[in-house]
Amino acid sequence: MSTSTIPVFDAAQLNRATSGDASLQTEVLALFVVEAERLLRQVEDAADPQVRGDRVKALIGLARNIGAAKLADVARAEETQIASEKPDLAALKQAVDETLAYVRRVGI
């Protein structure tokens, strides 16, 4: 599936992960925002390709767990080139920004 056809967010996944508890969803998404920002900073700042790769894997898991489908897909696609000395992080940054904007826009 093309990244453009993957939804930014899969609310059904979040609903499953939180058993439909709205207050838990709000809490999980607030934590997601903080963690996604932290992981992206660590990817950007990492001098060691192994550390960068580990942080991207953590970002993939974080995104998949709560339904950030497009972010998970973009991060997975970037995983192979992330180990290069000077990786192009533009697509990953854009996916994180788009996902966080979506979460904030829906009022969570």
Measured between alpha carbons, how far is 62 from 42 in angstroms, rounded to an integer?
A: 14
Say if residues 31 and 54 touch (Cβ distance below 8 Å).
no
Model confidence at 107: pLDDT above 70:
no
pLDDT 10s digits, 25-51: 999 999 999 999 999 999 999 989 999
Distance set, CA 85 to CA 50, 54, 88 (Å): 11, 15, 10
Which residue ranges make up each domain of the chain?
Answer: 3-105
Model confidence at 74: pLDDT above 90:
yes
Which of the four CATH numbers 3.40.50.620, 1.20.120.160, 1.10.3720.10, 2.60.40.1170 does domain 3-105 have?
Answer: 1.20.120.160
